[in-house]
């Protein structure tokens, strides 16, 4: 399957709440293949169907190119630690802009695999941040909403400048 086109901030679809997947079929497998191809094409760590303009609750994460990607269907955070950690975050839908974001340091995520089987994963550190970031996206929360107002405004100004100089 080919890589798909991304949508870019401020596209309103980035703030839409993704709908749960109810059919675990060939269409879902095709979407998973497209997500993987697009993830590789844009050299990203994580990607959701929302980044492709599709309001489906599907995400893929691959922390390093040599690691196998993990597909998360209908992911949700079941538990989060009180302890927090800060990690640099950005988005394929807002290229060139990164900021540190404070989030719970560890999470438990429940999700389905491609066959619809229930799964649960404990994550900490950078993986925990990535999972929370992608689940936020599926919940209609774009990552800059996790920044202070001042840092969000600066990030938006940097992004506007990057877009002006790019085209």
Marked catalytic residue, from 5, 102, 121, 134: 134
Residues sharing a CB contact under 8 Å with residue 20, sequence separation 6 or more, in sequence order: 57, 74
**In terms of residues, how long is the chain?**
167
Longest alpha-carbon distance in the chain: 46
Q: Is 134 a catalytic residue?
A: yes
CA distance 144 to 135: 14
How many angstroms separate the Cα of 38 from the Cα of each of 85, 111, 154?
Answer: 29, 21, 28
Active site residues: 134
């Amino acid at each position: 399957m080919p890589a798909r086109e991304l949508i870019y901030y401020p596209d309103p679809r980035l703030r839409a709440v993704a709908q749960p997947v109810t059919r675990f079929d060939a269409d879902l497998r095709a979407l998973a293949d497209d997500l993987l191809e697009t993830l590789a094409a844009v050299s990203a760590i994580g990607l959701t169907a929302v980044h492709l303009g599709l309001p489906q609750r599907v995400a893929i994460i691959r922390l390093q190119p040599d690691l196998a990607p993990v597909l998360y269907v209908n992911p949700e955070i079941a538990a989060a630690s009180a302890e927090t950690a800060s990690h640099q975050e950005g988005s394929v839908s807002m290229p060139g802009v990164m900021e540190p974001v404070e989030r719970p340091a560890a999470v438990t995520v429940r999700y389905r695999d491609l066959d619809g089987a229930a799964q649960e994963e404990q994550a900490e550190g950078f993986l925990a941040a990535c999972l929370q970031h992608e689940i936020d996206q599926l919940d209609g929360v774009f990552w800059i909403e996790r920044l202070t107002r001042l840092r969000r405004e600066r990030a938006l100004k940097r992004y506007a400048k990057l877009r002006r100089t790019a085209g």
